[in-house]
Amino acid sequence: MDNVWISWNENKKHPYKNSFEPTTELEICEIVKIAEKVRMIGTGKSSADIIAGTDTIISYEKFNQILSVDKENFTVSVQPGIRLKKLLQELEKNEMAFPALPDIDDITVGGAVATGTHGTGKIAQSLSEYIKRCKIVNAKGEVEIIDKNDDRFNAVKVSIGLLGIFTEITFQCIPRKVMNIIERPMKDTEWLSTYKTMLKENDFLRILWLPHTDNGYVITGNYIAEENRINEKSGPWYYKYRRSLSKYLYGKAIAKPSRIALSNKIIQKLFFSNKQQKFGSLYDATVTKSRGSTLELAEWTVAIDRFDELFVEMKKELDSKSNNAYAHIPMDIRFMKSESGWLANGHGKDIVTVGCVSRNAENADNYEAFELVEEIFLKYDGRPHWAKRFQIGEEILFTLYPKWSEFIELRRKMDPDGKFLNEYLEGIFK
């Protein structure tokens, strides 16, 4: 195999024999029928090894159309290769929206729903929870329609491409609204003691935690009438250099991780110590429109009633000088309501999610914060994001998801030959 697929941060590389860019559902059916092993490729921004690693890969690149918009019933149907950015821009034009959104828009909708990608806030859930119906191509190369009347619906919604290939997704949306967003620094002791109140009182809540600084950066938002908008207030002119300065400082710290503590203090003072105000739709005001540097990410979730205890332990360990688990900032804390998807992180309980980032993707295997954060979350029955880094396998995942056995049984029934498995996924879902 002379062809090699390379992930966006160049940490994953897989040879392949055949690559296709279909434009029709029929083409996808024909490809699946003849393929021995096949995986779908979106933008490739997963930090987990779930995308390639099979003889045949199918790109969603040209399978990216909006199929219908129903403004009366607030539904939209799309091909799964559409970038979230394109879909959200179309919804904005039609005065429609999702109840919650991820923090970036340069991802395919199919990849986002398959992995449980999510937003944050009082009623936030993952994009998969807003699916009304979908079409998949099963392992036989046949099209199946899955809706809420199908017993498999909650399994398919978040299934990492293991039960079939999405070819059409219909979402239930809501009317577009606008919100005031306020961002400000807050001491760890303050936000930790008030976040549950803030979650009740605000439609949007996101906390960027800043290890080694005793500070967080709290972002709250509330839907309002247009005429009640607040005056916008931006940060200093040098804010646009945060990513480049962070990458430089963390690059210098590779040889001596303890330097990260000083780097975090510098970054916090420069970029997370000022109040900002924004106004706009959820998409306008909360979604990052670009992500210029390569990253490596882990994200873990925990039941909200266990988060306080977990955070105290995590802060103590990450701030400790007794290990090299010095974490880059910010660590992203978000909030979600309970979900019905069998493999959804929020299945059966309201959760808090915590993202851990390395801005040196090439050095991610030596970034000890990933290992320490995973160890702590597992003590509190935490669940990993399917598109991010984690090390645990089936023997532990089985204990974390009440519907795990049912999902494995269904996967084997729908794909008995493991057509949609790659080597990494075989180690978890065989």
Q: Which two tokens stand for residue 339?
A: 């979900």
Residue 136 lies inside a defined structural domain of this protein: no
Concatenated DSSP letters of 207-242:
EEEETTTTEEEEEEEEEE-GGGPPPPB---GGGGGH
Closest CA to 152 of 170, 173, 168, 138: 138
Residue 248 lies inside a defined structural domain of this protein: yes
149 CB-near residues (< 8 Å, 6+ apart): none
Residue 128 lies inside a defined structural domain of this protein: no
Q: How many domains does the chain have?
A: 1
* Residue-level pLDDT at 75: 98
Residue 46 lies inside a defined structural domain of this protein: no
List the CATH number of the domain containing 382. 3.40.462.10
Residue 352 lies inside a defined structural domain of this protein: yes
* Residue-level pLDDT at 291: 65
* Residue-level pLDDT at 293: 61
User: Kindly report the CA angle at 332 between 328 and 337, in degrees rounded to 5?
Assistant: 160
Read off the amino acid at residue 71.
K
185 CB-near residues (< 8 Å, 6+ apart): 215, 216, 217, 218, 272, 273, 274, 275
* Residue-level pLDDT at 44: 78
Q: What is the CA radius of gyration of the chain?
A: 21
Helix (H, G, I), strand (E, B) or coil at 320: coil
Residue 157 lies inside a defined structural domain of this protein: no
* Residue-level pLDDT at 43: 83
* Residue-level pLDDT at 121: 97
Strand partners, 335: 352
Residue 417 lies inside a defined structural domain of this protein: no
Residue with tokens 């200093």, as numbered in its chain: 236
Full domain range(s) for residue 247: 178-389
- Over the chain (430 residues), what is each successive 10-residue block's mean pLDDT? 80 91 97 97 86 95 97 98 97 98 94 96 98 98 97 98 98 98 98 98 98 98 95 93 93 95 97 96 90 82 98 97 94 98 97 96 92 98 96 96 98 98 94
* Residue-level pLDDT at 294: 72
Residue 285 lies inside a defined structural domain of this protein: yes
